[in-house]
Structure 1
Amino acid sequence: MVSADGITKKAVPALIIAAAAVFGFLIFSARFSQAIGGIWDRDLLLWLNSFAASHQYVWQLANNSLFRGFPVFFSLGALWFADDSRERRSRMLAGFLATCVATVLSVWMQFHLATHTRPLLDPAIPLNFAAPSWDWDRRNSFPSDTSTLFFALATVIFLENRLVGLFCLVWVAVVVAVPRVIFAWHYPTDIVGSLVWGLACVLLFSTYLRTLFERTLILFEHRMYIVHALVLMFLIEASDLFLSLQSLGKILVQLAG
C-alpha cells in the first residue's frame, strides 16, 4: 500500500527511525571529535598546516568555484540531462533535498554544538600559517558545512555512476576538504563528520523519498522546463555555497526583528 504522499506506510516510521539514528550518530561523532581533539586530531592538523599552509595557491585553488566544483557540477548536469529517466531524476532530486538539509543542519550544529573552537581562532594552537582573515559568526567547527555540501553532491553522483562518483568523492576530499584542515578552518574529525553526515543524508533521502519525487515528476511531466530551471538554480546556488540565500536569510531576520 502506498500513501498519497508517495511514501509507503511502512517506510514512514522507518524513515523517522533512520533519520533519528543518523542524527544521533552525528551528535555522537561530535562528542567523539571533542574527546580526541587533543590527541591525533590536533597532531594531524599541525602536520598538514606545517606541510602545505605556506603555499597560497592551495588556498586559492580550494576556494576557486570553477576549479573545485567543475567535476562535481559538470557530472550532475550531465547525469540530469543524459536522458529522460524519471527514476534517476527522482533519486537526484531526493539527493539535492538531502544536500540542502545536511548543509543547513551542519551550520546549525556549528552554532549550537560546543564541540571545539575552530583551530584558526584558538590562540593555544601554534599554527605555521593560517587562512586569510574572515568575519566569523560561528566559532565551533564541527562539522564542515562546505565539505558536507560537496560530499553530499558527490554521493548523489556515486549513486548514479560508481566510477565517476568515486572520482568526485576523492576530488572533494583532496581539493575541498583537506585544504580546510591545512589552513586551520577545521580539524580532521570535522571533515570525517562531514563525510558521514553528507553521505548518510543522501542515502537516507534517496531510499525513502525517491517515490515522492517520482510522483512529483509525473505531475510536471508536461512542464519539465520548470523542473529543469529549478535544478539549474539549485546547482548555481550550491556552487556558490548558498551564499546568496544566506545573505537573503540574514536580511529577512533583520527585517523581522
Structure 2
Amino acid sequence: MNSLTTTLMGLDKEILLTLNAFGGGNNNLWDLANNSLFRGFPLFFSIPALWFSSDQPERRGRMLAGLLAVCLATMLSVWSQFHIAVHTRPILDLAIPLDTVIPRTPWDRTNSFPSDTATLFFGLAAVIFVEKRLVGFFCFVWVAALVAIPRVVVGLHYPSDIIGSFVLGPAIVFIFTALPYPRGLFERALTWFQGRLYIVHALLFIFLAESFDLFPSLQALGKVFARLLHA
C-alpha cells in the first residue's frame, strides 16, 4: 500500500468520523433521511411529470434508456459490494468508534463500495438532469443532502462510497442517453406500442413503485433464486 493510498484512506476515515460526530446518533436526522417519501419526492414527482409533459418519442425513448441505465448501475453497485473487496462497511468495523442509531449487527454485504442506494438516486437525478437541467441540478443537491451524506453520518458508508456512486450512476445514464442504439430502440418500441401505451405506463408505474424503496421485491426474488441455485 503506497503513501497516497494510505493518505486517501486516512482522509476517508477522518471525514467519516467528523460527519458521524455531527449527527450519527440523531434519530430524527436518520428518520428523515430514511423516509422513502421525503427523500424521494422530488425525483419521483419529476420523472412522471417529465414523461407526461410531452408525448415526443425522442424524450420518452431517452428517459427509458436512462431508466435502464439506472437499473444496470444499481445492479453493478450491488455486485461490486459482493465481489470486490474495497473496504469493510464502517458500521461493521468495530475498531471505528461510531455514534450511530443503526445497530452494529452483521450484514449480508460487508463491503460498502459503492453505495447502491446513492447510485440509484444519483442515477435518477441524472435522468431528470438530461431533460431539465435546473430541476436535475436541484435533484442532485437533494440526493446529496438527504440520501448520500446521511448514510456517511450514520456509518453505513465511507465518503468514497458516495463519490463512487456519484460517478457510477450518472456516468452510465449519460452514456445510455447519448448513444443512439438504446435510445433508438426504445423510440421504435414506443412507436410499436402507440395504440397500447397503457402497457408502457403500467410498466413504468411498476418500475417507479419498486425503485421508490430500492427494488425490495427484486432483491427478495434474487435471494430466492440464489438459494435455489445453491440448493
Q: Residues of 2 paired with 1:34 and 1:148: CA distance?
A: 24
In structure 2, do the counterparts of structure 1 residues 44 and 203 end up closer, same or farther at CA, with 3 Å as the change threshold? same
- 1:189 corresponds to which residue? 160
Ranges in structure 1 where 5+ consecutive residues have no aligned partner: 1-32
Alignment of 1:15-164 (within 5 A): 36=7, 38-133=9-104, 136-164=107-135
Q: Residues of 1 paired with 2:72 and 2:186: CA distance?
A: 16
Q: Is the 8 A contact 1:68 1:175 kept in 2?
A: yes
Correspondence 1:165 to 2:140: no
Q: Residues of 2 paired with 1:247 and 1:134: CA distance?
A: 20
- 1:223 corresponds to which residue? 196
Q: Is the 8 A contact 1:34 1:115 kept in 2?
A: no
- 1:211 corresponds to which residue? 184
Q: Is the 8 A contact 2:39 2:146 kept in 1?
A: yes
How much identity, in percent, do the aligned residues show?
59
Which one-letter code corresponds to 1:96 in the other structure? L
Q: Residues of 1 paired with 2:100 and 2:55: CA distance?
A: 49
In structure 2, do the counterparts of structure 1 residues 235 and 35 end up closer, same or farther at CA, with 3 Å as the change threshold? farther
- 1:245 corresponds to which residue? 218
Q: Is the 8 A contact 2:113 2:164 kept in 1?
A: yes
Q: Residues of 2 paired with 1:149 and 1:102: CA distance?
A: 7
TM-score by length of 1: 0.84
- 1:179 corresponds to which residue? 150
Q: Residues of 2 paired with 1:37 and 1:140: CA distance?
A: 17
- 1:8 corresponds to which residue? none
Q: How many residues align?
A: 225
- 1:19 corresponds to which residue? none
The DSSP-based 3-state class of the residue aligned with 1:223 is helix
C-alpha root-mean-square deviation of aligned residues, in Å? 1.5
Q: Is the 8 A contact 1:154 1:165 kept in 2?
A: yes
Deviates more, 1:129-138 or 1:76-85: 129-138
Once the two structures are TM-superposed, the CA of residue 135 in structure 1 deviates from its matched residue by 5.0
Correspondent of 2:209 among 236, 239, 253: 236
Q: Residues of 1 paired with 2:218 and 2:59: CA distance?
A: 27
In structure 2, do the counterparts of structure 1 residues 74 and 135 end up closer, same or farther at CA, with 3 Å as the change threshold? farther
The DSSP-based 3-state class of the residue aligned with 2:186 is helix
Q: Residues of 1 paired with 2:228 and 2:42: CA distance?
A: 38
Q: Residues of 2 paired with 1:134 and 1:161: CA distance?
A: 41
Ranges in structure 2 where 5+ consecutive residues have no aligned partner: none
Q: Is the 8 A contact 1:131 1:183 kept in 2?
A: yes
CA deviation map 1:21-72 (0-9, x unaligned): xxxxxxxxxxxx9755532110000000001112111111111110011110
Which one-letter code corresponds to 2:144 in the other structure? A
